[in-house]
Amino acid sequence: MRDDQLLRYARHILLDELGIEGQEKLLASKVLIVGAGGLGSPVCLYLASAGVGHIEIADDDDIELSNLQRQIMHTNDRLGMAKVDSARIAMQQINPDTHVVTHKIRLDEAALRERIAGVDLVLDCCDNFKTRHAVNRICVELGVPLVSGAAIRFDGQVCVYDTRHAESPCYHCLFPEAEDVTPVNCATMGVFAPLVGIVGSMQAAEAIKLLTGLGKSLQGRLVMLDVRRMQWHEVKVPRDPACPVCSTRKVVQQAA
């Protein structure tokens, strides 16, 4: 590690549970962030500032004025710019050493498979069920851990799906894919601005923990937040043995 990196990451290195070894793992890590909006903003900024060495971002949207109420990575002078391009600017202003790769497309399953095959971890920061389920299927297929977050109105949730472990559920176990699911998003239902920051920051924390082996992840636990009352609720989420997505997966047991 270079002298300037020792200084930049000094507050991480001072943490005995992380230290130089953990920081070096972050520097060598590769992640994919799907979505560069409300959740993707704190995820991108925190992972870049923490020193994740290679970050890929996929999003097909451009910045609109209504985004700026909560998507803190973007600015007024970038209205009309692709969100992934704005993300790259913001991240490299924080940490020019982080290698940022952008994809201004909505990734289909073939593209997802190609992208996910090259990373250590995926963060689902998108706002539609079709993409969430596609990301989940590929993560299960390739054995890549997935950190998923969601926020709508005043309610948020975070969970980790790490099907490298035999007992871990996948996203489909909790939220089965169905044709009759009514799409919900903040464009029609609204969202409390700080909520996406809280949820996205939790996603970033879980990602860093998984990449470094720090602590215990949210695998098998769904954490929900009602920000109106600032009440947290956690439920254990078992794997569905009949899940059509993960029941036949090959498991590579990882060290705790």
* Catalytically active residues, by annotation: 186
| Complete edge-to-edge strand list for the sheet that includes strand 30-34 | 99-103, 54-58, 30-34, 121-124, 146-152, 155-161, 221-226, 231-236
Backbone angles phi, psi at 240, to 5 degrees: -85, 110
Q: How many angstroms separate the Cα of 216 from the Cα of each of 21, 201, 206, 220?
A: 18, 16, 9, 11
- What the block records as the tokens of 106 is 């909505």
- Distance (Å, whole) CA 37 – CA 43: 10
Strand, coil or helix: 105: coil
Question: Half-sphere exposure of 166 toward its Cβ, with a 13 Å CA cutoff?
Answer: 1
